[in-house]
Chains A and B, each alone.
Chain A
Amino acid sequence: MLTGSKTTFKVRQMLPDIKERMLSQSGVHARSRDVFGLRCLPGECVLQRAVMVRKKLTAREGRGWVSGTLFCTHFRVAFVPQDSPKPDDNADPVLLGDHDVALASIEKVVVVGPNRTKLVTPNSSLKFTPEELVLYCKDLQVICFLFDRLTPDAQVIEITYTIAKTYQPLKPGSVLSFQNAALGSVEMKQFLSNRRRNTHMNWFESALDWEQELERCGATGWRVSSVNDRFEMSTSLSRSIAVPQKVLDTELKKSFAHFNEGRIPRWCWRHPRGSDLLRMASFQNNIYHEKDDIRNLEMILFGCQASLCVVVELGEELPSPADVQLAHSRLRALCLGDISTSVSVPDDKWLSTLESTHWLDYTRACLRKASEVACLLRGGHLTVALQEADDRDMGCVVSSLVQVMCDPHCRTQHGFQSLVQKEWVVAGHRFYSRINYHRDNDKEEAPVFLLFLDCVWQLLSQYPSRFQLTDDFLLALHDSIHLPLFSSFLANCQRERCKRSQNLGQSYTPVNGWRDMDSSSDPSDPPLPSVWDWSLQYSKHRRDRFTQPVPPTPPLQPLLNGNLNTNPDTHRLTDTIPGSVFLLSRGIFSCPANLLPWRGGGGGSSGVYKKSHRRAASSENVPGLERLLKAWALAEFPQGLTSTSGPQGPLDPYEPLLPLLMGPCMGLWKECYLRGALHAQAFSHPISANHPHPVERLAREVQQLKDELALVSTGTDTSPPAKMAEPRRADTNLNQNTNNGTFLFPAARPQSASAPRAAPRAAAPPTSTNHHTSRGPPPASAPPSRHGHKDNGGNKHTFLFGHPSVAEARPDQHHYPAPNNAKLPKSNGSSIAS
């Protein structure tokens, strides 16, 4: 049963016998009346269809083959398995079913016939009947369909031609026609314009959004400025920017000219120890510095920290966009292989070839830089300004990685989405050019965002318990990038996005989002949804896997006020001379004379500052800073013998997740890059798609039991104090749990980790995108603080841990429940008497 050579054979799958196939065929015919089981989008038409096709399932889908009907519409290649439930016509449209692929994602169509393979182009003609159809996709998926002998030859050939002709050919306007195919119908436009946006995340599109973030981070001393509201100061910056409170808008306006593209230093995030993270473009050097300008520039750069600013130069050690592009295309070629050319790297050279793509080197470089910044911020009370020439690539990567490392909120799904909005979408990462949807600007193409996703995956794989989001979520985001449908990625900055919406006759209002002003808008351009509207893209069961079955311990309630107990290192840093600026480059701190061009001497007007900065430049406090970085290097050595004695000591939730960067610790994101490798199909996923995660199932059972127990004990014991007994004890319990750094909260925990963060917005009823409510069974009795976000977290935990501790506290007490109430859950099987 083995085919192929000794080292690269495949184990052939068992074929169902003919009789079975005949039966199943008749099944297809019986069903074929209801549009063959395919739920079309409004306006979508089926161009071709083939019956009796089998699709190869990936490891994630449970492996093996599933038979069904293959469709080609002018928007997608769809596959409907035989036994899939009848589509619900009233449900909201979902762009892609679980087995579908959008035409725009297809990169290459290859057919396999008897003893040969052929790349099919729109113009090619087939001289044989294909047995297998392989679709190579831009998102590194490879989708393989097998035609049965019972599939009519005509159907096989026709559908192959149709797919080859309609998948996005590289010609101008094709993206637009694809968008129209997907979203262009009147119904679809209507549907999209009525969609609510996700209120659980921060979109960072309005001043209000930014104010919320300042509040969330406890970033006092900063304010939101709307000076760029009409994009007059900087075309690529967002409408609202966070700047020091003490700088007035009029002063601010004069500063834009001093930075490349007007991208002045802006506040991104505040570490709970009180340090601020800023990002900015490089300085415009050929400009005369007025005395007043200098004062403003200094204020903007130092923000609220009068004493110390570290400028982190991102250009030198990090890959350029061209590097990223080259590495990614090599990685792609390596991982995907290609059966049409049968060029693939020999297995024994895999490791060295992987190394030579440099992809892992680049992820390591980004993580290292972000780790350095995270360590600096941990030191407290300084400003770290990330500086990149145009501040639109590596600035995005590093600033967002730092926040993923340091801020537990950014490791939840909604927190992460907010982060991407803040540091990428509205910050002006050139998604449109970098992804190069139109294939018209190869020079600019560079999947910087995918590099970032890989870095996040590395963190996730090293600290799985500290993330609420899963790699399924990262994978979904990875794949969505390649679909030219989302407003998030189809523009280079907020200005472009707004312009587009105005052309559509829509107006953008910061509060309500997109709104149709004029129903007779230009019919040619459909309104584009945001990528975060996941229910548009994925079925519920796929979305359910975006978050851990057992969410991680929620971060302690707002400690983010900049007053977290400062660590000893800070003292040394705080008594530095006010106004010190250091450059961090290649792990070394220095204070080059021309670091801040206006301080460089020359102009006599800067004399005021010159004096004090000469002294500052004596690098007195470099050792203090270096110690911070050294602490990181040493942090990789666990201190003491704790590892032998199980769980570690108290865990500071804001302690950055510093990744191990040694060779053996950096992994390849196989679930993403290698899912197309056909020989890898035997790889199995721990949990098959149809079964809930065992932990989830157990959590459900425990919840059930607890409810039973509550029922039983309340049935007998009516005295309320029993429930409230020893709240302190419950608290102790809570502390222990957080200390362990693991999840201890049942899946049914009614409060999502991110919900408190979105408190002011969460008043809106949960929309369909609110997956939290759908996970696990509903709690038997709603906790008192369901919407009372201002309550401290203690209540919730008391609720959860109340019962065990109550019972523990009163073990000798007798309860006399009514016999009928004391029913045990069924799921306990034979071990329980019922």
Chain B
Amino acid sequence: MASPVPVYNSNPLDEHISSTSRESLKMELLADVSLLPGEERIIDKDIIYICPFNGAVKGKVLITNYRLHFKSSDADVVVTLDVPLGAISRVEKMGGASSRGENSYGLDITCKDMRNVRFALKQEGHSRRDIFELLFKYAFPLSHGQLLFAYVTQEKYGENGWDIYKPMEEFRRQGLPNNKWRITFINKSYELCDTYPTLLAVPVNSKDEDLRRVAAFRSRGRIPVLSWIHRENQAVIVRCSQPLVGMSGKRNKDDERYLDVIREANDTAKLTIYDARPSVNAVANKATGGGYEGDEYQNAELVFLDIQNIHVMRESLKKLKDIVYPNVEESHWLSSLESTHWLEHVKLVLSGAIQVADKVSSGNSVVVHCSDGWDRTAQLTSLAMLMLDSHYRTLRGFQVLIEKEWISFGHKFASRIGHGDKNHADQDRSPIFVQFIDCVWQMTKQFPTAFEFNERLLLTILDHLYSCCFGTFLYNCESARDQHEVRSKTVSLWSLVNSRMEMYLNPFYTPESGRVLYPVASMRHLELWVTYYIRWNPRIRQQQQSPVEQRYKELLALRDEYLKKLEELQLSDSPSSRLGNIPTPNTSSSATPPQQYTQLHTPL
């Protein structure tokens, strides 16, 4: 089979088949596509899929406003292909009317999720014109003045994922506000900084005027604000953008004073400023008005973390794709992998985050920034928080972490991913978030019992990073999301996830609060995430549940069954107790799975 449909397919409910698709059921070939509510057929066509693994396969392609679906018509070779249009970065015509050779005339589709898809059509009669144009239109709706599918879909879920992150609740969980830190509404209408959230935590000792003056000296007004506070030692992680030092080496007393106030908040002797960039890049940024904190910042030390910029990361992942798709580089695999530098970049991000986490857990406050404070900074703060705070290692806590450090603090998802945008060569695109999820995956590999969620969650997140089916990753910042009414008009990805949580739970999760996780950031212990990057290769076995995991779930089910039967027996034994003396232990097996785990892990 060719590129297999991922197991965690994007169509969550099978019952919904819209009326339009009922008509298309006539074509029994496509009968097995269950369309999402609101999904509509655009076109279907006989076509040849040039499968890189099986060769050319005849079949039929269906294009809806959400996906491209192909199924082979040949009974011998069952090939299906399911690509959300959102995952398409580029559609090109391949060959011309006069091209020679078999299957030389067709379409070449490049995807954002590490694959390419090629179709061939008959050469006569402009057979590809309609499909090309429609695909181009629906794959890039924003470039054609149309709505993203997230605004079209009618999907409903039992859970409302938009409720998962409430900034005030999260601050309260961290023990804020307290006598050193206050919550300010200064950015209520995005006046101070249009890429920041509305609620910000700042030192008690800094007034709103101070904040405005600091904002003038920080790139795009992204002032240093609190991301996380250590409950015991009150050390904090503060994030911001670079100071606007410029070629002339400008100083800003307010900014210097402000950082010193942060340091004083927990009597740290020296505030550590982590600049995520290589020092060369930080110096180069002076030319464009940026720069880094110099000696004028007293009681502060500056550490460069040597993480490369978005362009380097993009090229690195592109090289990785070259060696894994369609065919895995067989000879010299390891040196080819090394030459992509992807794992090395992952290592640097992780080791930067480890340093941040270690500093904070030893009682020193830190400031983290890069250039604008929305790419590398988000990686570092969120990973450090994941290491420090076990709450973020739970299924819901991880959603909060992403909502908080990535979405609300303005990681430019729209620019980095290019949702619905035809400009595939946009220099702003970069797999920064993918890299972050890779780092999380590396941590779950090294600490298999420390995370409540499993690999499938990470894969689902990355699938819907591109799919445009949910509003979660749309737009660059909160102000843009407000403007486009994302929360009221689209569904959150967490609605999907939280309405079928059991799919995403790691059965071996052993909660251990208060333990800081330091992964090994060494090439010797980092691994390529084969089940993500090479998952389209049919030789890579689809990640099935690990046998032990499966066995565990079966035992759980068995246990519930026995419990139920025992209960039934007891009930029938003493009919009087039916009235409620016995609290029902397990009326439904799915109701309390997380609890069951904790019970199990409590040492007897």
A827 within 8 A of B: yes
Contact among A636, A705, A815, A833 for B562, CB-based, below 8 A: A705
In the complex, whether A639 has a CB less than 8 A from a CB of chain B is yes
B581 touches A833 (CB 8 A): yes
Does A709 make an interface contact (CB < 8 A)? yes
Specify which chain B residues have a CB less than 8 angstroms from the CB of A45 in the assembled complex: none
Is there an interface contact between A819 and B573, defined as CB atoms closer than 8 Å? yes
CB pair B552 A644 closer than 8 Å: no
B572 CB-CB contact with A under 8 Å: yes
Whole-angstrom distance from the CB of A365 to the nearest CB of chain B? 13
* Residue on B nearest A832 in the bound complex, by CB: B585
Which chain A residues border B562 with CB–CB below 8 Å?
702, 705-706, 708-709, 804
A-binding segment of B223-231, B452-460, B478-486, B534-542: B534-542
Residues of B within 8 A of A355 (CB): 332-335
Let me know if A833 and B551 touch, CB within 8 A: no
What sequence of 0s and 1s flags, for each residue 658-670 of chain A, a beta carbon within 8 Å of any chain B beta carbon? 0010111100001
**Residue of chain A at shortest CB distance from B7:** A644
State how many angstroms separate the Cβ of B354 from the closest Cβ of chain A: 8
**Which candidate, A134-142, A166-174, A290-298, A680-688, is the interface stretch facing chain B?**
A680-688
Check if A640 sits within 8 Å of B1, measured CB to CB.
yes
Indicate if the CB atoms of B524 and A682 lie closer than 8 Å.
no
> Which chain A residue shows the least CB distance to B602?
A829
Q: Which one, A2-10, A225-233, A308-316, A587-595, is touching chain B? A: A2-10
What distance in Å separates the Cβ of B10 from its nearest Cβ neighbour in chain A?
12
- Chain B residues with Cβ under 8 A from A352's Cβ? 334-335, 338
The answer to whether the Cβ of A824 comes within 8 Å of any Cβ in the partner chain is: yes
Q: Which residue of A lies closest to B519 (CB)?
A: A682
CB of A185 within 8 Å of the partner chain: no
Flag whether A512 is at the interface (Cβ < 8 A). no
Closest to B598 in A: A829
Question: Given A643-B7, A677-B524, are A2 and B569 also a contact pair (CB < 8 Å)?
Answer: no
Q: Check if A817 sits within 8 Å of B551, measured CB to CB.
A: no
Cβ contact within 8 Å between A694 and B552: yes
Asked if A20 is at the interface of the complex by the 8 Å CB criterion, the answer is no
Expressed in whole angstroms, the Cα–Cα distance for A224 and B569 within the complex equals 59
B334 to chain A, nearest CB (A): 4
Of B337, B538, B555, which contacts A637 at CB under 8 A?
B538
CB–CB B540/A698 < 8 A: no
Counting CB contacts under 8 A, is A88 at the interface?
Answer: no
Cα A816 to Cα B574 in complex, Å, equals 8
Within 8 A of A (CB), among B297-337: 305-306, 324, 328-330, 332-337
Q: Establish whether residues A694 and B508, one from each chain, have CB atoms under 8 Å apart when the complex forms.
A: yes
From A552, A684, A701, A831, contact of B585 by CB (8 A): A831
When the two chains form their complex, are residues B347 and A663 in contact, meaning their CB atoms are under 8 A apart?
Answer: no
Question: How long is the Cα–Cα vector from A810 to B354 in the complex, in angstroms?
Answer: 58
- Whether B247 sits at the interface, judged by CB under 8 Å, is no
Task: Spot the interface stretch: A96-104, A156-164, A342-350.
Answer: A342-350
Do A644 and B539 have beta carbons less than 8 Å apart? no
Give the residues in chain B near A691, CB-CB below 8 Å: 603
Question: Using Cβ atoms and an 8 Å threshold, which residues of chain A touch B583?
Answer: 831, 833
* Residue pair B78, A641 in contact (C-beta under 8 Å): yes
B53 contacts chain A at the CB level, 8 A cutoff? yes
Please encode chain B, from 551 to 582, with 1 for each CB lying within 8 Å of some chain A CB and 0 for all others.
11011101101110110011011100000011
CB contacts (< 8 Å) of A694 on chain B: these are 507-508, 510, 552, 600-601
Chain A residues in 8 Å Cβ range of B330: 662-663
CB pair A699 B446 closer than 8 Å: no
How far, in whole Å, are A302 and B583 apart by their CA atoms in the complex? 72
Query: Which of B335, B351, B447 interacts with A351 by CB under 8 Å?
Result: B335
- Digitize A693-704: 1 where CB-to-B-CB distance is under 8 Å, 0 elsewhere: 111011101100
Among A6, A636, A713, A804, contact of B539 (Cβ-Cβ < 8 Å): A636
Q: Is A814 an interface residue (CB 8 A)?
A: yes
A-chain residues with CB within 8 Å of residue B542 when the two chains form the complex: 638, 643
Q: Given the known A-B contacts A348-B523, A644-B9, A686-B508, are A660 and B539 also in contact in the complex, defined by CB atoms under 8 Å?
A: yes
- CB pair B563–A828 under 8 Å, yes or no, is yes
- Cβ-based interface call for A596 (8 A): no
A176 within 8 A of B: no
In the assembled complex, the Cα of A68 lies from the Cα of B355 at a distance in Å of: 32
A2 to B352, CA, bound (A): 12
Task: List, in ascending order, chain A residues with CB within 8 A of B522's CB.
Answer: 7-8, 347, 350, 679-680
A194 to B332 CA separation, bound complex (whole angstroms): 54
Q: How far is the CB of B393 from chain A (nearest CB, A)?
A: 14
Query: In the complex, how many angstroms separate the beta carbon of B228 from the nearest chain A beta carbon?
Result: 18
| Given A660-B541, A705-B562, A828-B585, also A817-B573 (CB < 8 A) | yes
With both chains docked as a complex, state the minimum distance between the C-beta of B59 and any C-beta of chain A, in angstroms: 13
Q: Flag if A348 contacts B561 (CB, 8 Å).
A: no
Contacts of A698 in B (CB 8 A): 552, 555-556, 559, 600
| Cβ of B414 under 8 Å from chain A | no
Given A351-B523, A643-B7, check contact A695 B552 (CB 8 Å).
Answer: yes
CB-based contact A7/B347 at 8 Å: yes
Tell me if A759 counts as interface (CB < 8 A to partner B): no
Give the CA-CA distance A637 to B550 in the complex, in Å: 24
Number of interface residues of B (CB under 8 A): 91
Q: How far is the CB of A584 from chain B (nearest CB, A)?
A: 21
Most buried by A among B324, B333, B519: B333
Q: Is the CB of A664 within 8 A of B333?
A: yes
Do A354 and B334 have beta carbons less than 8 Å apart?
Answer: yes
In the bound assembly, the distance between CA atoms of A807 and B562 in angstroms comes to 10
Q: When chains A and B are docked, how far (Å) is the Cα of A664 from the Cα of B570?
A: 55
Contact flags B129-152 to A (C-beta < 8 A → 1, else 0) = 000000000000000000000000
Q: Is the CB of B582 within 8 A of A833?
A: yes
Instruction: List, in ascending order, chain B residues with CB within 8 A of A832's CB.
Output: 563, 585
Q: Is the CB of A744 within 8 A of B551?
A: yes
Determine the chain B residues whose CB is within 8 A of the CB of A679 once the complex forms: 520, 522, 524
For the complex formed, measure the closest distance between the CB of A378 and the CB atoms of chain B, giving whole angstroms: 19
- B572 near A816 with CB under 8 A, answer yes
With A and B bound together, what is the CA distance between A699 and B548 in angstroms?
A: 12
A351, A549, A644, A662: the one within 8 Å of B5 (CB): A644
A517 within 8 A of partner (CB): no
CA of A349 to CA of B54, assembled, Å = 36
Among B519, B573, B604, the one with the most A-chain Cβ atoms within 10 Å of its Cβ is B573
Interface status of B80 (Cβ within 8 A of chain A): yes
A641 and B4 in contact, given A694-B600, A705-B562 (Cβ under 8 angstroms): yes
Tell me the complex Cα distance, A6–B274, Å.
12
Flag whether A11 is at the interface (Cβ < 8 A).
Answer: yes
The answer to whether B524 and A350 have CB atoms under 8 Å apart is yes
Do A709 and B566 touch across chains, with their CB atoms under 8 A apart?
yes
Does the CB pair A705–B548 fall under 8 Å?
A: no
Chain B residue with the shortest CB-CB distance to A827: B604
Q: List A residues 673-731 near B (Cβ within 8 Å).
A: 674, 677, 679-680, 682-684, 686-687, 691, 693-695, 697-699, 701-702, 705-706, 708-709, 712-713, 716
**CB-based nearest B residue for A705:** B562
Report the Cα distance A796→B570, complex, angstroms. 28
Given contacts A6-B306, A827-B604, contact A351 B338 (CB under 8 A): yes
9 nearest A-B pairs in the assembled complex, by CB-CB distance: A663-B333, A465-B547, A355-B334, A705-B562, A352-B335, A351-B338, A833-B582, A350-B523, A643-B542
Q: A6-B305, A11-B354 are in contact. List 5 more A-B contacts (CB 8 A).
A: A1-B361, A549-B548, A636-B538, A637-B539, A694-B552
Q: Which residues of A contact B (CB under 8 A)?
A: 1-2, 6-9, 11, 347-352, 354-355, 360, 464-465, 548-550, 552, 636-641, 643-644, 646-647, 660, 662-665, 670, 674, 677, 679-680, 682-684, 686-687, 691, 693-695, 697-699, 701-702, 705-706, 708-709, 712-713, 716, 740, 742-744, 746, 804, 807, 814-817, 819, 822, 824, 827-829, 831-833
- A sample of 26 cross-chain residue pairs with beta-carbon separation below 8 angstroms, ordered by A number, consists of A1-B361, A6-B351, A8-B522, A11-B518, A349-B338, A350-B523, A352-B335, A354-B334, A464-B547, A637-B538, A640-B78, A643-B1, A643-B541, A662-B330, A662-B540, A664-B540, A665-B530, A665-B540, A674-B524, A674-B525, A680-B520, A686-B449, A694-B601, A705-B559, A743-B548, A743-B551
